[in-house]
Structure 1
Amino acid sequence: MAAQPSPYAERVARVPVREDEIAVRGGRTRLWVYGPEDAAHRVVFLHGLRGDHHGLEPILAHLDGVRVLVPDLPAFGASPPLPGDRHDVAGYAAWARDLLIAVAPSGDAVLAGHSFGSIVAAAALAGDAAPAVRGLVLVNPIAASALTGPRRVMTGLTVLHHRVAAALPERAGTWLLRHPLVTRIASVAMATTRDAELRRWIHAEHDRYFSTFADRRTLLEAFHASVRHDVGESAAAIGVPTLLVAAERDDIAPLPAQQALAGRFADARLAVVPTTGHLAHYEAPAAVAREVDAFLAALR
């Protein structure tokens, strides 16, 4: 079967990109650097659970004149697991802090995160150990624990699925976590677009990248972190200007919870992308990019 063409392929192809690898916390992190070297703004963008750098390309392709650094989170995509840390919020936050110090030592970058990446990004900037950055951007931020949200029944079933996978012998458990039917169920549940071609491409993207995690142990650590934690745990300790990009139809991170979350930051603005859900990076990347561009311009 022919690959489903990306609706953003032409724009993505026009963006200069190079692949790099850097040492972080005793391990190696694969990193993709998009955009011009002389860009006025630099953004370090963290992807969501079970994704990799490809998922953020539709957004960065609409960010003209911005340099965007997108690492594959450890244990996902092309980055191997962390050698000395758990793949939980604390472990990923420590990794993100060291990553920022390595790629933006002068503090001139903006940190961004989508979905689970929003939890990690917020935790990385909370407290005295936070590295210097110009601002924080959270796209589809996890405003409340998935265990208490409107999809808590679905979340409960997903937790059960992961517990069964954990109880099985490793080979069988990993097979269950990577099963294509599980990927398709998750993809169908998250997609909100009525555009049939776009839906097919989203499903194809998840088929390609949703199962590129390193192993069962690290995936289970990251998954349980994703459903037990939220951005609100870190919000009050973040002092930099913050942009929350919510989606009107996001039932993983519902709009009322986003509105409440915005009030917990010292300096935050909430932007709402209409008629889309938790996959705003796939369904409405131009709208997300416009909000990010406006935020970057205001930082000057």
Structure 2
Amino acid sequence: MSRSVPHPYAARLESIPVLRREVEVEGGRTAYWTYGPEDAATTIVAVHGFRGEHHGLEPVVAHLEGIRVLSPDLPGFGETPPLPGRRHTLEAYAAWLTDFVAEVAPGAIVLGHSFGSIVAAAAVAGGLPAPRLILVNPIGAPALEGPRGVLTRLAVFYYWAGARLPRRLGDALLRSRIIVRVMSVSMAKTRDRDLRRFIHDQHDRYFSRFADRDVLHEAFVTSVSHDVSQFAPAITTPTLLVAAERDDITPIEAERRLRGLFPRAELVEIAGVGHLIHYETPREAAEAISRFLRTSADDTR
């Protein structure tokens, strides 16, 4: 981390043991990080969002005391190579997550943020045996119908152009620091200048760590072609939705409707934040998660 951009959650992270590991899943290598005590009573597998990687969820992890969190990089992002010989469809990502959990943490609670919420919901609806499901900034309705549907359509064109231009030009477009900054500015809601600088620095560092333009385009098409509402009615697992009142991708009204589609779901709304709960209000998210885990555990006794 650059000294010029302090990490507001660094002290908490430094107090947590972290190990980097790898595992063979779906014929390929998956890199993942284990946070917290190995003997913790509760284990969460946390799935990051589109264009991100495991670092993005660290601020939330930093506030989850006494919980073991396993955070993989999605195939094609961060340090995990693309799935060998497969297109990166939702079915492929859900199968990867199901096998990953079976390999490293059978019976773990599953958490998904943003695009990760779609992957997690699809996997659990498809049979991943998770005792609890936690969705942060869930994509609760089709992205093209969100409050910034026009911008989503521009994003469709952007990723299409990146995939169709000559490879060198397309790659440069997709990794453009200017466009990454525009994305970052549009999502951040906080007025705290230091926190905004941290958010932009995180996006500058990690938003272009995708394997190549092909996997990025496939993952983007997957992200805008599906949403959690498709899978909610089939998920009987107790579920927590942590939603933002100012989310530009899924409006809070849609999140309230989404809650009603689940047989067993709780909705926590966080005020003053948008699609970056994990950066702007990680403490509030972690508190909601901890309450949910305590309450749902009491309900099973």
**In structure 2, what is the Cα distance between the partners aligned to 1:188 and 1:298?**
36
Q: What is aligned with 1:56?
A: 57
1:235 aligns with 2:232: yes
How far residue 132 of structure 1 moved from its aligned partner, in angstroms, is: 1.4
Equivalent of 1:195, from 175, 182, 192?
Answer: 192
Q: What is aligned with 2:36?
A: 35
**In structure 2, what is the Cα distance between the partners aligned to 1:71 and 1:22?**
10
The one-letter code of the counterpart of 2:23 is I
Superimposed CA distance per residue, residues 213-258 of structure 1 (whole angstroms, 9 cap, x where no aligned partner) = 0001000000111112100111111111000000111121210000
By percentage of residues, which structure has more helix? Answer: 2
Q: What is aligned with 2:113?
A: 114
Superimposed CA distance per residue, residues 74-112 of structure 1 (whole angstroms, 9 cap, x where no aligned partner) = 10000000013221211100101111111123x2x1000
How far residue 3 of structure 1 moved from its aligned partner, in angstroms, is: 4.2
**In structure 1, what is the Cα distance between the partners aligned to 2:242 and 2:137?**
6
Equivalent of 2:292, from 279, 286, 295?
Answer: 295
Report the count of equivalent residues: 296
Q: What is aligned with 1:45?
A: 46
Q: Percent identity?
A: 55
1:164 aligns with 2:165: no
**In structure 1, what is the Cα distance between the partners aligned to 2:169 and 2:246?**
36
Contact 1:188 1:203 in 2 (8 A): yes
Contact 1:26 1:84 in 2 (8 A): no
Q: What is aligned with 1:220?
A: 217
Superimposed CA distance per residue, residues 169-204 of structure 1 (whole angstroms, 9 cap, x where no aligned partner) = 112101100010110000000000010110011000
TM-score (norm 2): 0.96
**In structure 2, what is the Cα distance between the partners aligned to 1:186 and 1:80?**
24
**In structure 1, what is the Cα distance between the partners aligned to 2:132 and 2:80?**
25
Task: Indicate the SS of the match to 1:96.
Answer: helix
Task: Indicate the SS of the match to 1:33.
Answer: strand
5+ long unaligned stretches in structure 1: none
1:175 aligns with 2:172: yes
Taking only aligned residues, the RMSD between alpha carbons, in angstroms, comes to: 1.0
Q: Which consecutive segments of 4 or more residues in structure 1 shift more than 3 A? A: none
**In structure 1, what is the Cα distance between the partners aligned to 2:44 and 2:3?**
34
How far residue 288 of structure 1 moved from its aligned partner, in angstroms, is: 0.1
How far residue 273 of structure 1 moved from its aligned partner, in angstroms, is: 1.1
TM-score (norm 1): 0.97
How far residue 299 of structure 1 moved from its aligned partner, in angstroms, is: 3.0
Task: Indicate the SS of the match to 2:71.
Answer: strand
1:143 aligns with 2:132: no
How far residue 18 of structure 1 moved from its aligned partner, in angstroms, is: 0.3
Superimposed CA distance per residue, residues 126-175 of structure 1 (whole angstroms, 9 cap, x where no aligned partner) = 13xx1211110000000111111111100111111111112211121011
The one-letter code of the counterpart of 1:22 is V
**In structure 2, what is the Cα distance between the partners aligned to 1:205 and 1:132?**
33
Task: Indicate the SS of the match to 1:68.
Answer: strand
Q: What is aligned with 1:209?
A: 206
